[in-house]
Structure 1
């Protein structure tokens, strides 16, 4: 029974890894749509968000089934509960990528952000998608210890880019008016929240693996 239970946990982990892959790709595509004003790509991201919602539901259903049928304890219990927690966070990451794509839809055919901010948003997209990629590697490779610290450092980079956007749109040299400033503020917040979710997932995965919250050992 224990071997079968381990197989079930491995399948749950693979479902979770598939979700992080999808979230990373959604962020890449949403950023591409943002920087190119590509409505077709934006619609692809928005339309694909429901698939991630379905994956979350499937993860939760399988996890709750294991809890009911196997009554896991200790590390196994932490692992199953972590899947439920992380699936919700990763699904939220997909929502945030879809929000970015939604701004492209609303602004089309105009570009959402001025050219001077495009390099910052390009970097935001690269960093946040890479954070989701690392989550996939942690889940599949099992090397989750240290993942929280690594992604926390990446999150600091995102915070710095967020601050850079805010400094730009509030400076005396900003010449694009209120609407682009509001759009940039919302967009950078979506990227920041995406990064925050990856850190939350990494923290829970590390706790599930070690039994101790990162930073408390």
Structure 2
């Protein structure tokens, strides 16, 4: 049953509104403060960054990355305690300044700033337009910027010229997602789910990120971007 607010009748927030988030109290649906000073001890996963935010995760040199554990049976486990309610995924963060620069003492005005020259870039396999068979797989079209960027990284780091196979990453990714450590009050919002191997399943985008971390990338010559392979061991 639902009332005129379209809220469940046992949902007190429809009548009282969510409570203010604090250091001690910051569940999924609390009301976040707007001032940076009031957010200092509230996890970023509960309340997103604001102007002049002093929390480590909100500094300009912070980068976020998805975290989860995928096993050999393609089952991905996500930890509720790492779930970021703004990004809507389980994340961790790191500082860019903690890593060695790829090139030191280089500025944008230097001729060697670009790892790949414009002329060389235009000749790479990944720059070729998608053919009709590839376009027919909707997720291939939507995720082209993502898997193309991986081809650029492969060229820069390993000097190989490939057009990456997105369908390989789809097949290598999780087929089922489980979520651990979900508190009782949130179990109706967080439940296990399966990922279908369809070019029109939006969860394939999510799946490909984790498939990348588990199995890396492959060439679209071996695994064409025209259909999701059933066997990813042949190359």
Sort the TM-score into its range (normalised by shorter chain).
Answer: under 0.3
**TM-score (norm: length of structure 1):** 0.24
**TM-score (norm: length of structure 2):** 0.23
Q: Which has the higher contact order (CA 8 A, sep 6+)?
A: 1
Q: Which has the larger radius of gyration?
A: 2
Query: Which protein is richer in helix relative to its size?
Result: 1
Query: Which protein is richer in strand relative to its size?
Result: 2
